[in-house]
Amino acid sequence: MTGADAADSPTRTGTLHVPSVPSHSGPHGRQSAGTLDREHALAACSRQDAAQLTYPFGETTAVFKIGGKMFAAVSLGDLPGRITLKCDPGYAAALVDQYDGIVPGYHMNKRHWITVALHPSLPATMLEDLIADSYDLVRSTLPARLRTFSEELPGP
């Protein structure tokens, strides 16, 4: 998907409006994979049951919530981009030690959140697993009446 296609990607909660990101071409004139990884992250977040897309920090950060609580924040105005996710503290520490592209959460509680650089070297399945884990961690903190998937979940 190109940057132009991404500008109006349908999501479960409406249309995702992604501001233009400067296009960086790699060797042979191909677009850098940073935008593709961002699109993959946005799509994976949108696929989580009852995920709500909001922009509380402006149009440069897509924030995904469940039951009014954030489980992911995706930067939209930089390359290769980054995503901030909730993470088990022990697992977060191990990921930070093992991967250069994973750091303690940017502007978040450094023990419970990680920020992942959306770089082609990160396996897509790992990113999807981290997003699902973040969603599950946040969902588990919701009151039982809100844990069932419903269109009635409170908004942002």
Q: What is the pLDDT of residues 24-68, one digit of tens each?
A: 333 333 333 444 589 999 999 999 999 999 999 999 999 999 999
- E strands, the chain, in order: 9-11, 14-16, 52-54, 61-66, 69-75, 82-86, 102-104, 113-117
Report residues of the chain scoring pLDDT below 70.
1-36, 109, 148-156
Residue 107: per-residue pLDDT: 75
- Token readout for 114 is 């990680």
Q: Spell out the domain ranges in the chain.
A: 3-20+33-141
Contact 39, 28 (CB under 8 A): no
Residue 155: per-residue pLDDT: 54
Residue 19: per-residue pLDDT: 39
Residue 105: per-residue pLDDT: 84
Residue 109: per-residue pLDDT: 67
DSSP code for 107: T
CATH no. of 3-20+33-141: 3.90.1150.30
Q: Please return the burial class of 121, using the count of CB atoms within 10 Å of its CB with bins 0-12, 13-18 and 19+.
A: exposed
Q: Please return the burial class of 22, using the count of CB atoms within 10 Å of its CB with bins 0-12, 13-18 and 19+.
A: exposed
Q: How many CB atoms lie within 10 A of CB 45?
A: 27
Residue 31 sits at φ, ψ, to 5 deg, of -70, 145
